[in-house]
Chain A
Amino acid sequence: MLTSDSCLSLHKHGSSMASDSNSSESQRIAQQRLRIIAGHLQKHKDDDSGTIATECKAEANKGTVPRKRQEIMKWNGWGYSDSKFLFNKKGQAEFTGKRYRLSGMVLPSLQDWFENTFGASVNHKSPATPALNASAVPPASLNEAFVEDLKATGIPFSHEAEDRVFRAHGHCLHEIFALREGKKFERVPDMVVWPNCHSDVVKIVELACKHNVCLIPYGGGTSVTSALECPPEETRCIVSLDTSQMNRILWIDEKNLVAHVEAGIIGQDLERLLNESGYCTGHEPDSMEFSSLGGWVATRASGMKKNVYGNIEDLVIHIKVVTPRGVIEKSCQGPRMSTGPDIHHFILGSEGTLGVVTEVTMKIRPIPEYQKYGSVVFPNFEAGVACLREVAKQRCAPASIRLMDNEQFQFGHALKPQVSSIFTNFVEGLKKFYITKFKGFDPHQLVVATLLFEGDRERVLQHEKQVYDIAATFGGLAAGEDNGQRGYILTFVIAYLRDLGMDYYVVAESFETSVPWDRVLDLCRNVKERINRECKERGVQFQPLTSCRVTQTYDAGACVYFYFAFNYRGLADPVHTYERVEHAAREEILANGGSLSHHHGVGKLRKEWMKESISSLGVGMLQSVKDYVDPDNIFGNRNLL
């Protein structure tokens, strides 16, 4: 929530802030110019490759992510080490740390909700292993010749157990669960390298080819598709190529509104740095605090505000990729080309199987003048979907529009912080009374759509009215800015909540799909029902939580996001049970006209359905590209195909 928070305060203070940031911006540009001149001067002294390396290292690291990620982030859970949910001695939930809006707050209703929803109890703890057991980590099998050559380049690397384990996983349930349980790892990277710039990557890839070493690119580590898992059958030395230190904005072109950025930069840094210049990309995937630009490109990421800014494929103007065959890039930055199939589309979604994305030129926009949250309550999910469909039809979707089902609405309410003033409580009570009693909405049926409008003030207000008018025709009732904002806060903290659940025998995961409009309701209903049925058949003792939301609207369909959690007490192998249920849910999605993935990607988790999804001929086309670009399977993470 860091970024949104800072955005928000910026807008609240209005235009005076904007001029402040303009003056600091000109200062920053001046400094950057100096640095570049200094760099050029230095260049003449040394030989070419050495210079670039020096240039890379000359820059002080301004990014959030240190090489030793474990210094600020959890090694066995989501996000920052200082931020976590816990039930305090009074049994009340609180969120620790200072980073988020919810940080330091007490959430009085969470315990009840948690216990009632899952049949769990705050007295039944399932604590995680406190620290990484180094003996559970297989020893590094290094390719000595590669290490020698790498040393000569001066690129930093490590083969410490903590560093290697951190890069052996993403955030799939089974991965985190295994870390918490202290399970023995089958295969982890043998070493980690931290290139500082494009030419470092070129060197690493050349050495990897020379010594037949397997490379696995690592960006933000937020994958939920088993994409970062090392193939257990890989016998070569596996090197994790951590792009986190390639995190600079190399230049901003205000005439064309594009910025050239190193692909290791993470979302929050990119927005923060661009904001300093008065710009933003507007690309805000839910994982943007940690996920990286290169990762977005490699997985075809989608941002919450894509209605205004577009998805990653719409934002990208130019991509530079280092492959075993050399560097792929286009020769110009024309906004559209008719030059055969777009080679960017071989890269977008390639999931690290072809090479490393090192630099990206992407569109930027001036920071919007005004931002406003909103929410609409509908009597039921059907009405809500009908409204979203109409909004999409009239092409007047706000920057973000999401429809949460009743389960998620109640969940959102359980996350309400302790109210400080009696008055707010009173108003909330009145509102609830009005919606549930006066309007005749059933509290166990009603759903809420959360909205985010952006633009100049007048247009936002006009837009807001248009959307609320449409909503009214479907029985929707405006329910205030707070409810809307709470919905978006939920997005950022929900990953933290999973860790809390796992402390109390509850496992949880999310998955997504995209589906034509006319099948949205059927798909949601059938997938939920399938999950419930599968849980029952597989011996889950407690009613699972299945919840969904429509998170993106398109002309021809929507993106649907599911949450699924259950209390696993009494199950011998909860992760296996979970995986079987998720597998069944995915089959149900496909049978109901949903796609294999809208934005998470395929990884290794969903590979088995690729043929069915894109035909075997389609798989063959992708395979032939892979065979040409990477004949020795240097990028051997075995995702996708």
Chain B
Amino acid sequence: MSTVCASCLNILVFVTLQQRDPMLKRDGFEDILEERRNSSDLKYALRCYAPVLYKGVTPCKANMLKNIVLQSDQLRYVINQVSQESGEAPDIIQEEASVILEEMAHRLQISTVRFFAFALSKAFKTLFQHVCVNEEGIQRLQQAIQEHPVVLLPSHRSYMDFLLMSYILYTYDLALPVIAAGMDFMGMKFVGEMLRMSGAFFIRRSFGGDKLYWAVFSEYVKTMLRNGFAPIEFFLEGTRSRTCKSLTPKLGLLNIVIEPFFKGEVFDVNLVPISISYERILEESLYARELLGVPKPKESTSGLLKARRILSEDYGSIHVYFGQPVSVRSLAQGKVNRSTYNLFPRHIPRKPMEETQSFVNDTAYRIVRLQEDNMVLKPWVLMASLLLQNLEGMELSVLTEQTVWLRGLALSYAAFLDWPDHAPTAKVVSSSLALHRGLACVSGGRVSLVVGEPLGPVTPEEALFNRAVSVLSCASYRNQVLHVFLRPAMLAVAMHTAASSKKNEVYNCFSFLWDMFSNDFILCPGDTVQDFEEACYLLVKTGAVQMPQQDIVMTDIGQPTLSFFNGLLEPFLQGYQMLLPTLRSEHSVLCVFTGNLRCYEVLSSDMQKNALAALLRMDAVRKVKV
């Protein structure tokens, strides 16, 4: 740190913030349900659908696509290789490849899409008040689709996400994407096939060493991309985030879609970050239970039918923000030397070079941060953040007052807050509480979390479990705002823990926290210094901190901000702290804490997993086979 000129960095950070600061540049939204409420859904589902395609390419029939893949040099090479290794005849391997492809491939059919367009219109109107889309983003996307192959990268919070995506693209007459979906969906009779016919293709969750599977899969995706038959859509986070925090990105598919650019097979690839924000998530309480170890219900059609009861509830609005397309070519400029691909035949699969790997990793993180940046936050996420710091409950008036204060702070940190215009604060607070009445209630002027009351006698474990469900559900809202506050909050904690106010000591603490939390939060690799400078800049900007010479000190008015930030990260710090002795004692987490547990979030399997990964990464623990 001491080697970096702080003032230069400040300017640099300021500039990047300006670039990233989307306050001025964020587009407005349009509610696409409005038209649906005023005109026939059937007409809508049957209307003429003629999207523009990539450079006017003619759409490719699913069968033709399969043939191209099966006959590609890439696949033929791997088939021969596998055949030589296994001693099986090439045509048997070829047959195997064909079966894999059959199992994987989408069979997009416009009739199925029309069916979904109709059914989803009905469902959305019942479930949601609004489905809002930034139309400028749609226009940018339309432009991008015509110029270069496009990869759609939505955030993933709900099963709803990919149906919603296709629905929106259909609504705006854009090319329907092909979507990478987990194989588990295929287990759903009928529905799996319906999804396949609306553009989903299915991949196994793990196929580590299976060369043939990988070859078929990657060639299938690349063929679609190279020829620009359809936009490709997948979830960088790999799975639905049960915590509503963005998950650290998975790189497999991103590697596949970027490689054709490095090999010169396409001029460019456009990555489009898409942020889908739900005011209330359909899976809300399911997720909390899952995090506490109740197994995820297997995807099944009957399960889906049972889930119909959710149709009777109000889930508020959805905001879908199509971000600025990111050109891989521009990103790679000066970072990856494409000519290193010149000396090896392009059809022979190769592990990406280190330079490429770190570029893809970096890109993945940047995209997830772009998703975070454009996540629309509702007033409730601010309220949830406050309530979680006051688990014993708080006066409604205090909550209201602090929410207003927090709103100001969030806005000055460029949060994308959807605060109703012209509504009195009390009204905003009360309507938020009304929508989330399953999570919080007001009684006697005090607001507190709702704890599910099971029938009959309650064991202490059950009581704890119910309490934890309510805390974790609430935390999934607080988590939505974390990306806005994360860096200043880490700085606040670092200032609190550092032995002195010397800038480099604070930085060392910050850097430790940054490193430790990099499994839990989206922290771009190598950005420690930049994040630190950003945190300083933001805290100074809001007057909470002063930086005379080489010190970082709190100002007279900084107390509320810093203590809020300390409280915000408290559950994570406590959780990580508690997990260490747990590991040593080898007892199940629940047993140890049944006594007087204050930190419910440590029970979240997500936090345990991340903490363990961090400890492993930092060499604090070691895996031993028993």
Contacts and interface: CB of A to CB of B under 8 A. Distances in A.
B459 interface: no
B346 A518 contact: yes
Interface string A442-455: 00000000000000
Nearest to A529: B267
B267 A593 contact: no
Contacts of B265: 522
Contacts of B342: 593
A592 B346 contact: no
A509 B343 CA distance: 29
Nearest to A595: B342
Contact of A525 (B263, B267, B337, B338): B267
A186 interface: no
A529 B265 CA distance: 13
Nearest to A526: B267
Interface string B315-346: 00000000000000000000001110110011
Interface string A566-595: 000000000000000000000000111100
B264 A523 contact: yes
Interface in A280-316: none
Given A522-B265, A526-B267, A529-B267, A612 B346 contact: no
Contacts of A167: none
A182 B267 CA distance: 40
Interface string B341-365: 1100110000000000000000000
Contacts of A593: 264, 339, 341-342
A581 to B, nearest CB: 15
Contacts of A530: 267
Contacts of A526: 264, 267
Contacts of A529: 267
A592 B329 CA distance: 13
A107 to B, nearest CB: 32
A99 interface: no
Instruction: Classify the secondary structure of A's interface with B.
Output: helix
Contacts of B339: 590-591, 593, 612
Nearest to B343: A593
Contacts of B264: 519, 522-523, 526, 591-593
Contacts of A523: 264
A590 B341 CA distance: 11
Nearest to B341: A593
A530 B333 CA distance: 13
Contacts of B337: 591
Interface string B255-278: 000000001110100000000000
A593 B339 CA distance: 6
A529 B264 CA distance: 12
A329 B225 CA distance: 56
Nearest to A516: B342
Contacts of B338: 591-592
A612 B264 CA distance: 18
A331 B455 CA distance: 108
A592 B346 CA distance: 11
Nearest to A528: B267
Interface string B287-302: 0000000000000000
Interface string A603-641: 000000000100000000000000000000000000000
B75 to A, nearest CB: 16
A29 B341 CA distance: 57
Nearest to A523: B264
A519 B345 CA distance: 10
Contacts of A590: 339
A550 B342 CA distance: 20
A430 B339 CA distance: 47
Nearest to B332: A591
A530 B337 CA distance: 16
A332 B132 CA distance: 84
B415 to A, nearest CB: 33
A95 to B, nearest CB: 37
Interface in A496-547: 518-519, 522-523, 525-526, 529-530
Q: Which of B263, B264, B345, B346 has the most CB of A within 10 A?
A: B264
B340 to A, nearest CB: 10
Contacts of A518: 345-346
Nearest to B73: A518
A592 B261 CA distance: 10
Nearest to B148: A529
A591 B268 CA distance: 13
Nearest to B265: A522
Nearest to A591: B338
A612 B343 CA distance: 13
B106 to A, nearest CB: 26
B347 to A, nearest CB: 8
Q: Which of A522, A523, A525, A591 has the most CB of B within 10 A?
A: A591
A526 B264 CA distance: 7
A575 B144 CA distance: 31
A593 B267 CA distance: 14
Contacts of B267: 525-526, 529-530
A338 B216 CA distance: 49
A519 B267 CA distance: 13
A305 B349 CA distance: 38
Contacts of A522: 263-265
A563 to B, nearest CB: 19
Contacts of A591: 264, 337-339
A517 to B, nearest CB: 11
A120 to B, nearest CB: 26
A518 B346 CA distance: 9
Contacts of A525: 267
A518 B263 CA distance: 11
A523 B346 CA distance: 14
A530 to B, nearest CB: 7
Interface in B372-411: none
B541 to A, nearest CB: 34
Contacts of B346: 518-519
Contacts of B263: 522
Nearest to A613: B339
A525 B260 CA distance: 14
A522 B341 CA distance: 13
A216 to B, nearest CB: 32
Contacts of A592: 264, 338
A526 B341 CA distance: 15
A105 B600 CA distance: 91
A518 B264 CA distance: 11
B356 to A, nearest CB: 13
Nearest to B337: A591
A335 B90 CA distance: 48
A584 B342 CA distance: 18
Interface in B232-267: 263-265, 267
A523 B264 CA distance: 7
Nearest to B346: A518
B169 to A, nearest CB: 26
Contacts of B341: 593
B33 to A, nearest CB: 38
Nearest to B338: A591
A250 to B, nearest CB: 44
A401 B346 CA distance: 27
B147 to A, nearest CB: 9
A590 B346 CA distance: 16
A590 B342 CA distance: 9
A537 B267 CA distance: 16
A346 to B, nearest CB: 25
10 contacts: A519-B264, A522-B265, A525-B267, A526-B264, A591-B264, A591-B337, A592-B264, A593-B264, A593-B339, A593-B341
Given A593-B341, A593-B342, 7 more contacts: A518-B346, A519-B264, A525-B267, A526-B264, A590-B339, A591-B264, A592-B264
Interface of A: 518-519, 522-523, 525-526, 529-530, 590-593, 612
Which 6 interchain pairs have the tightest Cβ spacing?
A591-B338, A592-B264, A593-B342, A529-B267, A522-B264, A526-B267
